[in-house]
Amino acid sequence: MPPAPPDEAPETARVRRPALWLLLVPALLYVLAPLVANRVEPRVLGLPFLWAWVIGATVLSPLVIWLTARLDPVYRADAPEPLAGDPGTEGRRP
């Protein structure tokens, strides 16, 4: 199925996309690592806890991103992402 024509792009801007909030999870895992996991003990599979945390976040991040894409209605509809510079978008300046 071909992507929607550019005329339909503004319609996707009105779709609620709460699944995109899941994209904060990988960022928070990395940001909170020094605060939560900054210790050597306990060791996980022989690795210091901080290393195990970062490896776990690295493995978990693509899974969360994949899940977010699958839950996003715009992605499922294969609609183009509306950009501020696209013709017909709201708030466009002449």
**In terms of residue numbers, what domain contains 36?**
18-71
pTM for the model stands at 0.64
Asked whether residue 37 is assigned to any structural domain, the reply reads: yes
Q: Report residue 50's pLDDT band, with 50, 70 and 90 as the boundaries.
A: confident
CA distance 11 to 88: 10
Q: How many domains are there within the chain?
A: 1
Higher pLDDT, 20 or 30: 30
Asked whether residue 23 is assigned to any structural domain, the reply reads: yes
User: Would you say residue 40 has pLDDT above 80?
Assistant: no
| Long-range contacts, 56-61 (Cβ 8 Å, 24+) | 56/29, 57/26, 57/29, 57/30, 57/33, 60/25, 60/26, 60/29, 61/25, 61/26, 61/29
Mean pLDDT score, 30-59? 88
Asked whether residue 93 is assigned to any structural domain, the reply reads: no
